[in-house]
Amino acid sequence: MMRIWSVLFFFMLSELHVLSQDLAVENKKKSDLTAEEIVARYLENIGGEDHWLKIQSITFVGSIQQGEMNFVATIYYMPPHRNKIVADAMGKSFIDCTDGDQAWFFNPFMGMEKPQRKSRQQMKMAYNEFENPFIRYKEKGSKVELLGVQEVRGTLTYEVRLEEADGQEYFYFFDTEYLVPIMMKTFVDLEEPGEQSMETYFSDYEEVGAVVIPHTIEHRLNDLTFMQMTADTIILNDPAVTAELFAFPEEKAKKE
């Protein structure tokens, strides 16, 4: 019996060696593209830079799953760094917002009676650039580098490192067939417990007007999902989305 298992084990090792060689050849074949070519094809596949540069706001209408809670949600994005999440459940509304300079939130589910400003560290977590970071990336002083071919959730991807002018790094994983990112990974330095790995997964890419946008976005921190957003409707350039929508309520009241 031991002899049979030894023969089988040797056979399996031989097969694995052949498979690993085949995979290496296949990976080499698939990584013939440069990082610059991958980015260029990606931007073309999602509608092209010109169409994206015409977008002045994006509104996601759908749902957010956070833990065991499911919210009806509306998410607003506006250049240059404005974003706002309004999530409704049980007759209450959770709000998380940044206007690019400051961030604030309101969580009635935790007994909060009025909106509160976020700390500078929390602001870093909320900070988002409206414009796709690959659009005009060279003009912004960013660099891209192809790190190789990796498997992400059973899909073969190109791993591309994006280094922005300030030194911040993001690792994008582009589906080798469709050349759109299915995952982005970065590291955030929190006061407690320190640097953490944050991953964002993109799926359900669909056309919205002249561009293509993922309709499902999952956020994970240290391999644990903390939020998943699913859009039923995406609205571009809604005239109702203005800078005032993102202002801290007290400042908005003063202007009125």
Residues 9 and 101 in one domain: no
Residues 7 and 52 in one domain: no
Residues 104 and 226 in one domain: yes
Largest Cα separation within the chain, whole Å, is: 86
Helix (H) or strand (E) holding 34: none
- Give residue 21's pLDDT band: very low, low, confident or very high (50, 70, 90): very low
Residues 64 and 176 in one domain: yes
Domain with 143 in it: what CATH number?
2.50.20.10
Boundaries of domain holding 18: 1-30
Residues 76 and 1 in one domain: no
Tell me the CA distances in angstroms from 47 to 36, 37, 129, 174, 210, one per residue in order.
17, 16, 19, 16, 6
107 CB contacts (<8 Å, ≥6 apart)? 94
pLDDT in tens, 85-124: 999 988 999 999 998 788 999 999 889 999 999 876 666 5
Structural domain count, the chain: 2
Residues 131 and 207 in one domain: yes
Residues 7 and 115 in one domain: no
Residues 5 and 90 in one domain: no
119 within 8 A of 142, measured Cβ to Cβ? no
pLDDT in tens, 175-208: 999 999 999 999 876 666 667 788 999 999 999 9
Q: What is the pTM for the complete model shown?
A: 0.80
Residues 11 and 63 in one domain: no
Residues 72 and 116 in one domain: yes
According to DSSP, the residues that pair with 159 across neighbouring strands are 148, 173
Residues 121 and 134 in one domain: yes
Residues 4 and 62 in one domain: no
